[in-house]
Amino acid sequence: MGGTQPEAGTGSEVDVDERWMRHAFDLTDHAQQAFDEIPVGAVLVGAEGQLLGEGWNRNIVDHDPAAHAEIVAMREAGRRLGNHRLVGATLYVSLEPCAMCAMALVHARVARVVYGAADPKTGACGSVFDLLTDPRHNHRVDVRGGVLGEEAGRRLSNYFRVKRGRPLL
Ligand SMILES: [Zn+2]
């Protein structure tokens, strides 16, 4: 774990985004320990601050190429709300969403995405593609990246380092 980042200043206020990101990190631990999936976690939170859905990568266990953490969380939220539109919701995810997930977020009319680590290989929220703010879409999503980003990146790196027998960062 580790993850001591003094950037929050005095610590007198807990950043709401960081609090939900920590919740997403808990899901990454679950994905890794229970399923040996790539540890990505996502939490969907409603406009009133209520938890709507949780997800972690389930590609391997579900034999499902679309079962990214974000999709799993949105499916749970949709079932819970009885609605395929998730208007006003915020998605917290430990890794920058890919193109598939970004488009699903646009389709769902999610209001905001907060991610941890940027993904320079497939990130679609500004790194490789910028699908959430593209004016050609009929809906745009606010983006905040890099929330607890250093810890998010280290967690992912350590997953692969363990696989390769390398020491943890
Ligand atoms: Zn994805």
Note the pLDDT tens digit of each residue in 58-88: 999 999 999 999 999 999 999 999 999 999 9
pLDDT in the model for residue 13? 54
Residue 167: pLDDT band by 50, 70, 90 thresholds? very high
Write down the mean pLDDT value for the chain: 93
SS (H, E, C) 13-30: CCCHHHHHHHHHHHHHHH
Mean pLDDT of 48-63: 97
What predicted TM-score, i.e. pTM, was given to this entire model?
0.90
**Residue 53 pLDDT greater than 90, yes or no:** yes
CB-based burial label for 126 (10 Å; 0-12, 13-18, 19+):
middle
Q: For residue 6, what pLDDT is reported?
A: 47
Half-sphere exposure of 26 (CA within 13 A, CB side): 8
The catalytically annotated residue of 37, 54, 70, 96 is 70
- Average pLDDT value for residue range 24-45: 95
Distance 93 CA to ligand 1 centre (A): 10
* C-alpha of residue 13 to centroid of ligand 1, in Å: 31
Complete edge-to-edge strand list for the sheet that includes strand 142-144 = 51-56, 41-45, 90-95, 112-117, 142-144
| 53 DSSP β-pair partners | 44
- Clarify whether 37 is annotated catalytic: no
Which is it for the CA torsion 46, 83, 119, 140, positive or negative? negative
How many angstroms does the Cα of residue 50 sit away from the middle of ligand 1? 23
